[in-house]
Structure 1
Amino acid sequence: IKAGVLDSVMFVRTAAFFALGQFSEFLQPTICKFAPQILPVLFDYLNQLVLELKVGEPDSKHMDRMFYALETFCENLDEDIVPYLPTLMDRLFGVMEPQNSNQMREMALSAIAAVSAAAKENLMPYFPRIMTVLQGCLVKDCPKEMYSQRIQAIDTLAALCRELGKDNIIPLADDTMNFCLMMLEDGPDDPEYRRSIYNLMSSLSSVVNESMASVFPKFIDRIMESVIFSEDMVPNVSDNADDDLALVDAPDIEIDLEHTDDEDDQDAYPVENDYIVEKEEAILSLKEFATHTGAAFAPYLQSAFENVYKMIDHPQGDVRMACIDSICSFITALHKLDDAAGLKRACEIAIPKFAHIMRTDDQVAVVLRMLDVLYDVFKYVPAINSQEHAELIFGCIRDIFTNKMACQFNEESGGGDDECSEESENDEMLFENAANLFPMFGLTLQPELFSLYFGRLYHFYIQRLAKVKERDLPEQRAYIYGALADCCKALKGCCATYFDALRPIFIAGSRDSDAKARQNSYFALGEIVFHSEEKSFESYPTILQALSEAIVRESVPAAMDNICGAVARLIVTNPDSVPLGQVLPVWLNHLPLKDDTVENDVIQKAFRVLYLKARPSIEAHLEQILAITIEASYKRQMPDVETTESAVALIKEIRANYPELFSKVSNMNPEVFNYVQAL
């Protein structure tokens, strides 16, 4: 590829740039390791382009492919892009000079949006100059040849609003919103233009939050019109759609799931066009408003739900996915607003429909999106209201495992149930997403009910684990161990029923050749002990031996952190079964956590248990425990407020009971000293 980019033949260079863009898009994160080799080549081409533009030479025909490669590569670099920003931005500003063509300036603006996704607030030194360029484009009236550039400028400003941080964008919020309102009212009657304005408005909602309340009445009806508008065509919804959708006074809701297919209506819609893209953006804007504006959006939740639901059978997969995203965000918003009645009614409508989509939609991407967003909903929201709904979702997960869904029988997925054939990548993604959804589904149920479902399904995990071991697929092994570990949390005390079956599987996983698989297995060992409680006590020696062997050979920080987390769970569950004299010195020497700082939650719980129940055994280690706790607190590595408060309480108790030891630790570092003095 590098040789192709440097080739003297333009067509070869064009193909190489496209290949590089594809590499950047689909070979993450490995491709980012080549930044020192790739970016200088791209910068040289940008510099050559700027020089050519200065002497009036025409735009190179392959520049769109070069910018595609640049954008896809840069947006995935994250903070690694920072050392390259001075050169990169200098080149892009050169392309954006006023004398250059609108097309070149538009591509440079798009590149800045991509760069902001990686650089975030590190882009602020260049922000004033970027805004100067944008302000020249963000005008009410412009020549027709600048329309496309103006739309890109709006999209770039939307990207900056999302990426540069609330404090940096707030000063521009009022003027930006006024521009949006003016252009919706008086701007071009053009769907692509409205799409860009909706994008900018939704990005502003992540900045101003509930302050959107004052402007919602000025534009929300226009967005709703875009949601339901179909360019002289009416979407096919059932005659009783309004009755189905009522979120108020709807105690007896029945939805006909047998007659919601859109097969007969495919020809009623055009192929994807600007109006459909506008519709998709309008739907996603409602999602953003529900996510970011809290109570300000509450008056519009019902109408948003109703209108988006009407589009959920749209022939375009992207629109269906946008509807899925938005309805799930509405459900989450109702939960956050403590609207229990509204949440119940919304779920009564949505859950059966979601199950129907998973079962009947023939696009793998749509089903994957459904599995993905339901993961987030089930993780935080009690969205399953009945045994009937539980059966619907469980049936979908089970049937994905057995290749019975519509999307598993089309050419795209490589479906069918010939076990001798290699599974397609799409099938594997379906299995993975379904496997990860199952434990989140369990969180919405009582543990006893989930245990019944787990008993019917966990052998699929075991069979699949054996299969991917045989085929040496480390990523698949990792997600199976991780999903089984997450199931332990949903099972709670019922985990004991499966302890004897799962423990040897997790111990075997602790010796896996793949670091992520080992990491998830260590986590699983801790979780199964923590939730099985007394059932696990007789297995402490075996599990501790496995962890002891692992801690000697483990070299990956995230995996080591999960060994420490597993030991902490054993201590929290039954400190009397842990030989503290042998375990504590080794365990503490691998703290504080290096990578997976979420485990600080259970580390702090273990410290608390030891301090309260085994203080004589740990007094020799109190200095180390205090230093670990202070460092994690000072560096803000606690996963939540509760863990932070527990850590601060422990620091204060040690300060009160062991003042000399506390003074010794706190004086080791001036910054730490100032931190603990301020507690």
Structure 2
Amino acid sequence: MESPDGRNHAPELDALLMACLSNNTEAIKAAEAALKRMTASPALIPQLLLRATNSPSPEVRQLSAVLLRKAVTKHWNKLTDMDRIHMQSVLLEQLVSEPHHSVRRSLGDLVGVVARYSVARGQWPGLLEFLGRCSASADSGHREVALALLASLAEHVADHLAEHISSLNQVVAAGLRDTAVEVRRAAVRVMEPLAALVADRGSAEVEAFHGLVAALLEVASSAYSSRSDDETLVQCLQLLVELCESSAPLLGKHLPAVVGLAMTVGTDTQAELSSREAALEVLHWVARFKPKQFGRNKDLVRRVVSALCTMAGEPAPPDLDPDDDGTLPPAKLATQALDAVALYLPSQTIFPGVLSFAKEAMSSQQVPHREAALTSLAVICEGCAEPLRKRLKELIPLLLTGLRDADAKVRGAAAFALGMAAEFLQPDIVEYYKEVLPLLFPLMVEGNADVCERTCYALDTFCEALEGSEIVPYLEQLVSGLGTVLTVTGPAVQELALSALASVVAAAREDFEPYLGPVLPVLHHFLSCTSPALIPCRCRATETAGLLFEGLGSDCAQLRSLAPAFADFGLQGFKMNSSELREYGHGMFSCIAKALGTDFVPYLQYTVPLALESIGLDDGVWGEDVLEDDEDEEDEDEEDEDEEARKEKQFRIRTGVLDEKCAATAALGVYAQAAPAAFMPYMEQTLSALTKMPGGMCRYFHEEVRVQAAEAMSRLVLAVYAACPPPAGATGAAAIMPQVRHVLDLALKELNRSLSDSDPAVATAALQSLTSLLKQLGVEALGGTAMRQLADAVEAILKGEACCQEVCDDDDDEGDDGDDEEDGDGDDEQEELLAAAAELLPVLAAAAGPQDYVPVFQSSHLPALIQRLKGHQPPGHRSVVVGGLAEVTEILKSHMTPHIGDIVPLLLKELRCTEATNRQNAAFCVGVLTEGCGGAAMAPHYPKLLQALHPLFDATENDGVRDNALGCVGRMMLADGGAGAALLPLEPLLPVFLGALPLKEDLKEASPVYGALCLMMAGDQAHRLAARAGQIMAAFGAAAVQKPSLPREVVTQIATTLATLTQKYPEPMGQLLALLSDEQRAVLEAAAATSTSATTTMSAAL
């Protein structure tokens, strides 16, 4: 084949190939550009083939094979039949004669590409015969070639190999048992593409593949036993990782053996660290992708946990330098693996072994053992959160002991563990803040950088969960200690200290105002930093400044006066080349906007364009092709070429830009909400940035950005609704102005599409945004189509049938032992999605009206809710379902009566649940069900319900649970206008009821609790309360003065009831009122003063 221009490119080609292999960057770029132009013509193919097969340089042969593969992809259909046959013949000859492995591999890839165009058309009949001859050759090099070729064919023409899969398995099996190590390695390499082929076939093919897995394990075991073939061992372990990811059960019955091999190698102190790391990576992937199959073998899991805990205490090799080559010490490898096991396997199997190890290791004289105890507890905090929460009384003493340890490494490990506990064991861990914080303060300033860093992390996560009243007593020590850290440490620790300061500010809110004096100069210093090393600190200072505005900016004149200065710092930050700083800048301006409201208007001209600019940044998610062909080149087989091009693409994702886009997207919604009218000129640009196709943030590739976009859409709608209010008297659809309708329709389109998103967080955000719009705009504004879509989406979520709820099941073909009650603890994102759906139910009922909503509820939503409360649903999922059921019952009331028989047995189960939240929600639900349906309807169930409620009144019960149990019984007493009390066994019930007062956490239950006592005291059941009159008066007095205070109307009702009773029964009531303290009498007198009829009587009696 001649060149179209008639030139002989041979000399030029040789020079270009050598230039590509040189060390001169400019020469390489120029040569690549020239080669790209030359390969646009098929005329170069013969010259490349000649060099791929005959060049004396292996580097030139390999590069020619790579270039030839690209040229064949583009020009195969332009070659003559004679050229094609010649190439096929020459390539097979060169494969068996090529002495260099790297060149053979490139030639094998080239043969695969040629096969892709030839085999499907029946144009290479001798290829498989050639493969068979090579595999049976006495020459080990030929056997290696056969397996390399098979790997390439399995990748490129898998469909055409399917009918030969049995014989191919035999070739691979023979290769795995070959005496030549290179052949065995080639056989291992072919298993990955072969596995992909097998995974799409039937169970018979998968079963046959299990035989190859057994042989693979033999290869790995042999390589491990030899102590000299780590290359093969690591190759086998890496393949096992790939097999784990397959949806097909490719490991089958060999999974325990795979785990056993991984643990044997991973925990062997004499093995190479690279092999140990690869082995523990297998364990990680088995836990992640085969959690059910792995988790059911509880004895194996326990052995794994024990071995990993022991390895966590292994000292680092003396010659290890992680900073030099990135190799992690064995202890770190072990805790990473333990973290993965805890995340994916049933926590009930993981937790006991780790806690037992920690208790024993904490008493060891060896520092690494004590450090391992605390680090092991730290890394399971996320995966084993539920059992750890229940056993905090055992966990906390271990952590506190660690904080007091004589060794700095142990103290640092304890601080890290406390940080992890504070992050994942909410809210229970916060109860121990009085014991924890005083021990952390001295560690902050002891002078050890590592301990200080971990202590700042612990303070950061712990303080983040505290409320104002809890953190106020420690503010002086926190501000002083963190201030010291910020002046004596380096940038890494300063960044964590500023992060901790941000958490303190967020927790203290308005109570932080007295400490602005020492903090503002610190922020000014870091907000002024321009050194690259201090940019992370500037980011944290920017975050802290924003949180100051969010916490106290709206009421703090000093801080509001500093808004221009902080804004200037923020705007200067956008001029620096830091995506992270821009991200925090958007966050700070969002906080300032929330604080200033319409006073933020002057800043919109700067902040909105900056946010739009961030959204428009190149996110780097584009492929770059090496020596790729021109886009406009014609090809008769474009589909194949596109496939090849896709394989060449390398994706780059700059996560800094991603986070910046998140913050910018969220900021636009906040700006619109803060200053609706002033934002209107920017509305169309913003809508375009969020919804335009392609490139809109609502359809961005990453779910975190889509979440922010979904949240922003509802804010934009409500902003334009505030800026363009309805005409006076307008209701329903007439209240929606044209400007609002334009934005609302766009929002509904995007949000309804997001309900079908594959990510649960996006669907949750969309559901919450639609809930907000429905609450504020009403049913008619959204329209019938949107309402039907919303109702259908809720039904799908409740049934677990939404797109984002599709779960890949790793069950194998060996059956299920039915022991699924421990299969994980539920997924937080799925629980949040379910909660969003449950919270929408009462909004739908209120917006549509009970009469219109009941048919939908009874036919679709209630059956799904009931089904969710059956079977092996995670406790967290059941809890949010019961909460949603209770809230919708408050709206539907007596419409729930026909369903009492279905609901009550499920609530009885939840009242006995080991999780406090489930018991609390169930008690509330029983109460509102009784309130709505009436005592007579519920009375047949009272005996069982009261029996289940009784333990909830115990002094050791969770405060919130006890308060809701009180509210539940109060509602039973109030049912049917107070007549319900006659259906209750008040004589044995009242002592338990009164003994559980006062309310401690859920003060919203005060109305039914004290309202029931007031109603009965003044009603026809008063005679049944007479024996408890003194206790009731004591309860009233305590309620009047308790802190935090009860709602004013509740105290007023108590005072009014006492006044009325005193007027009727002055002498006995006078004796009871004398039991009150001076403070209690004063409060009740003041409350009675709000009721003119009660004031005189009350005052006289008191």
Shift of 1:160: 2.7
**Aligned with 2:736 (options 341, 360, 377):** 341
User: How many percent identity over aligned positions?
Assistant: 22
Q: 1:646 to 1:162 in 2, by over 3 A?
A: same
User: How far, CA to CA, are the matches of 1:532 and 1:545 in structure 2?
Assistant: 18
Aligned to 1:568: 970
Q: 1:438-477, aligned counterparts within 5 Å?
A: 438-455=841-858, 456-468=860-872, 473-477=874-878
* SS of equivalent residue, structure 1 residue 668: coil
3-state DSSP of counterpart to 1:96: helix
Letter matched to residue 564 of structure 2: M
Select which of 983, 986, 1001 maps to 1:595.
1001
Alpha-carbon distance change, 612 to 506 in structure 1, aligned in 2, over 3 angstroms: same
* CA contact 1:442–1:490 (8 Å) conserved in 2: yes
The one-letter amino acid paired with 2:501 is I
Task: Map 1:79-478 to 2 at 5 A.
Answer: 85=475, 87-97=477-487, 100-120=489-509, 123-124=512-513, 126-139=515-528, 142=530, 145-163=533-551, 166-167=554-555, 169-181=556-568, 183-184=570-571, 188-190=575-577, 191-213=579-601, 215-223=602-610, 225-226=612-613, 228-231=615-618, 271-289=653-671, 293=674, 299=680, 302-303=683-684, 306-307=687-688, 309-310=690-691, 311-331=697-717, 340-341=735-736, 346-359=743-756, 361-371=757-767, 382=778, 385-409=782-806, 422=823, 425=827, 427=830, 430-431=833-834, 433-455=836-858, 456-468=860-872, 473-478=874-879
Please state if 1:658 is matched with 2:1062.
yes
Cα deviation per residue 1:375-417 (whole Å; 9 max; x = unaligned)?
6665666367333223212322333344443333476x9899x
Summarize deviations over 1:65-90 as a string: whole Å, max 9, x none. 55434422332344655565555444
Using the alignment, how far apart are the partners of 1:317 and 1:354 within structure 2?
14
Q: CA deviation at 1:112?
A: 0.9
What code does the residue aligned with 2:701 have? P
Kept after mapping to 2: 8 A contact 1:381/1:444: no
1:93 maps to amino acid: G
Check conservation: 2:422, 2:461, Cα contact below 8 A: yes
Distance 1:610 1:375 in 2: 39
Q: Residue 18 of structure 1 contacts residue 68 of structure 1 at CA under 8 Å; is this kept in 2?
A: yes
Of 965, 982, 985, the residue aligned with 1:579 is 982
Do 1:525 and 1:543's aligned partners in 2 also have CA atoms closer than 8 Å?
Answer: no
Distance apart, 1:277 and its partner CA: 3.0
Structure 2 letter corresponding to 1:491: L
Residue in structure 2 matching 1:488, options 883, 889, 899 = 889
Distance 2:806 2:1030 in 1: 62
The one-letter amino acid paired with 1:566 is C
Q: Which amino acid aligns with 1:466?
A: K
Equivalent residue, structure 2, for 1:668: 1076
Q: CA deviation at 1:485?
A: 1.8
Distance in structure 1 (CA, Å) of the matches to 2:491 and 2:681: 39
Provide closer, same or farther for how the CA distance between residues 609 and 307 of structure 1 changes in structure 2, counting only shifts above 3 A.
Answer: farther
Q: Which residue of 2 aligns with 1:251?
A: none
Change (3 A) 1:480 1:363: closer
Residues 526 and 569, structure 1, Cα contact 8 Å, conserved in 2? yes
1:285 corresponds to which letter in structure 2? A
Once the two structures are TM-superposed, the CA of residue 633 in structure 1 deviates from its matched residue by 6.0
**Given that residues 446 and 452 in structure 2 are in contact (C-alpha distance below 8 angstroms), is that contact kept between their aligned partners in structure 1?**
no
CA separation of 1:351/1:583 partners in 2, compared to 1, >3 Å: closer, same or farther? farther
Cα 1:554–1:162 change in 2 (3 A) is same
Higher relative contact order by CA 8 Å / sep ≥ 6: 1 or 2? 1
Instruction: Could you tell me which runs of 5 or more consecutive residues in structure 1 were left unpaired when the two chains were aligned.
Output: 53-58, 236-263
Letter in 1 for 2:889: C
Change (3 A) 1:133 1:506: same
SS in structure 1 opposite 2:575? coil
TM superposition shift of 1:522: 2.2
* Alignment length (residue pairs): 624
Report the secondary structure of 1:578's partner residue: helix
Cα offsets for 1:219-273 (capped at 9, x unmatched): 35435534642349999xxxxxxxxxxxxxxxxxxxxxxxxxxxx9xx9996244
- The alpha-carbon deviation at position 162 of structure 1 amounts to 2.8
Q: Distance in 2 between matches of 1:282 and 1:73?
A: 28
**CA 1:553 to 1:67, structure 2 compared with 1: closer, same or farther past 3 Å?**
closer
Q: Where does residue 961 of structure 2 map in the other structure?
A: 559
Query: Aligned partners of 2:840, 2:415: CA distance in 1, in Å?
Result: 38
Over 3 Å counting, the alpha-carbon distance change for 1:601 and 1:100 in structure 2 is: same
Q: Distance in 2 between matches of 1:80 and 1:212?
A: 32
Distance 2:683 2:1020 in 1: 55
The structure-2 alpha-carbon separation of the partners of 1:399 and 1:268, relative to structure 1 and needing over 3 Å to count, comes to farther
1:625 positional shift: 6.8
CA contact (8 A) 1:308 1:327 kept: no
Distance 1:189 1:336, change over 3 A: same
Query: Residue 870 of structure 2: SS of its match in structure 1?
Result: helix
CA contact (8 A) 1:399 1:405 kept: yes
Kindly report the root-mean-square deviation, in angstroms, between the aligned alpha carbons of the 2 structures: 4.7
Change (3 A) 1:226 1:631: farther
Correspondence for 2:426:
28
User: Distance in 2 between the 1:428 and 1:678 partners?
Assistant: 46
Q: Spell out, residue by residue over 1:175-209, the C-alpha distance to the aligned partner (whole angstroms, 9 max, x if none).
A: 22343057527962545444333322322334334
Task: Indicate how the Cα distance of structure 1 residues 331 and 559 shifts in structure 2: closer, same or farther if over 3 A, else same.
Answer: farther
| Inter-CA distance 13–315: structure 2 relative to 1 (3 Å threshold) | farther
SS of the residue corresponding to residue 467 of structure 1 reads coil
Aligned to 2:461: 72
Uncovered stretches (5+) of structure 2, i.e. residues with no partner = 1-357, 363-369, 375-401, 623-645, 692-696, 727-734, 1088-1102
AA matched with 2:523: L
Provide the rounded CA distance (Å) in 2 between the counterparts of 1:505 and 1:299.
51
Contact 2:542 2:585 in 1 (8 A): yes
Displacement after TM superposition at 1:113 (Å): 0.9
Per-residue deviation at 1:151? Answer: 3.2
**Distance (Å, rounded) in 2 between the aligned partners of 1:270 and 1:353:** 27
**Residues of 2 paired with 1:653 and 1:298: CA distance?**
53
8 A Cα contact 1:468 1:476, kept in partner: no
Residues 666 and 672 in structure 1, CA contact (< 8 A), matched pair in contact too = no
Q: What is the match of residue 108 of structure 2?
A: none
Between 301-310 and 657-666, report the one with greater CA deviation: 657-666
2-side partners of 1:202 and 1:382: how far apart?
28
Q: Which deviations, in whole Å up to 9, do the C-alpha atoms of 1:86-110 show, x marking residues without a partner?
A: 554443222222x653444333222
Q: Does the 8 A contact of 1:106 with 1:152 survive in 2?
A: yes
- What secondary structure does 1:327 align onto? helix
